[in-house]
Structure 1
């Protein structure tokens, strides 16, 4: 009974839009996530001083959820705009099949068949889980880079470029492989689905990575203190993770 009531509430929210275009449920979830992220940001230094790895894991999880929510918002917004454009297209008229042996019922001609895409809670959970479990790996990797290539006052640009080169040539391909593997397995896909995903989207995504992230990481390693480097990457990565989410969901479809 409670589950049925919750489903009715969610279905009702899924059908409601702000100004007829922005999905209400997606927006509510986004605002909740941003409130949690803001709370973490205000207390980050104290949390990090006590438990650096756990703080990084929770921060990554929240920002991963924000990124996927943004991706779902974009998808729902596009779908709604496409539907409204279709409704306003007076030239395109849907003609029912009159060879069914029955006349169309009242309201069948031109009846809308649009069903809004519901917010995918399982999908956002997968992204949060990936960010959570990937954070310790990132934490160790960034620590390794800072120890292997310490910044010097004489010529700090050289170790920065070495860090970026190692990060992009070693960790970036590994991280993307982990992402697509984790998502495919979490979605219930097997070896065949994983092979197809790597064949179709891995290399294009890696190329897109090389366009964006070298410049971001130069700024990150040169200016940002080490305790803020992963949150900085995760914050900039909201747009990147939204792109990954859209890419992953498109391939899944």
Structure 2
């Protein structure tokens, strides 16, 4: 009984140690990413005038990384709060004899404490940054097409802006989401079955969520924002959206 009690106390201390370490790492990475984003923002006009596509690609990559880091932070804090709430229950039941003597009570197969916040996933971060980087030229060409096809006029700029939004939401948005889930599934090592399941389970709900958020954002974007800032504006607003995509993709993966 005394040995089991000591083991439970040590498990609790180990969990608290992990809680302090993992979210701190997430936070440090987030701060570094924001510093890089601030640096790009300060020099954006200069970089864009020289190399517009490459500047857009770098900006998209950094903001995609910020979004995934936010998503991983949310997951870590949720795991922390859930485990803290369960610790009270464990403390109440600490006097109950441990019936399973064959396995340590707190350690998993890889040495992580059960229920502890997940460590920072650098591979997942790299996937999101790569997706933002390589998707930027496609977005660049698309936004250029919209500006040429529906030029804003001083007499009536609202109608062309609405046409841009309609084309963007009914043509590019479904295509972009399909690219996202296809890329992520393949990058995670999934095959045709995993891709089919992901499209069946999460594609349509995500597309519906897209139609709730993005039409209003794109009206503002096409109506007011200069063309060189349109993709960075979408990427900045899209931090929350990409974090949502990251959480959706990771929950389906798990």
* TM-score, normalised relative to structure 1: 0.86
Tell me whether 1:24 sits opposite 2:21 in the alignment.
no
Q: Flag the structure with higher helix content.
A: 2
1:63-212 equivalences under 5 Å are 63-89=63-89, 93=93, 98=99, 113-212=114-213
For the Cα contact (< 8 Å) 2:222–2:230, is it kept in 1? Answer: yes
- How many residues get paired? 231
Q: Which moved more, 1:70-79 or 1:82-91?
A: 82-91
Q: Deviations over 1:65-84 (max 9, x none)?
A: 00000000000000000111
Q: Deviations over 1:149-197 (max 9, x none)?
A: 0000111100000000000000000000000000000000000000000
Equivalent position of 1:9 in the other structure: none
Counterparts in 2 of 1:201 and 1:92: CA distance versus 1, 3 Å:
farther
Equivalent position of 2:218 in the other structure: 217
Distance 1:104 1:163 in 2: 61
Distance 2:24 2:91 in 1: 31
Q: Deviations over 1:42-86 (max 9, x none)?
A: 000000000000000000000000000000000000000011111
Describe the SS at the equivalent of 2:194: helix
Tell me whether 1:15 sits opposite 2:18 in the alignment.
yes
Q: Which moved more, 1:30-39 or 1:87-96?
A: 87-96
For the Cα contact (< 8 Å) 2:165–2:219, is it kept in 1? Answer: yes
Equivalent position of 1:4 in the other structure: none
* Structure 1 ranges of 4+ moved more than 4 A: 94-97, 102-105
Describe the SS at the equivalent of 1:38: helix
Distance 1:119 1:38 in 2: 23
Gaps of 5+ in 1: 1-13
How much does 1:114 deviate?
Answer: 3.5
Let me know the Cα RMSD of the aligned residues. Answer: 2.2
Equivalent position of 1:41 in the other structure: 41
* TM-score, normalised relative to structure 2: 0.86
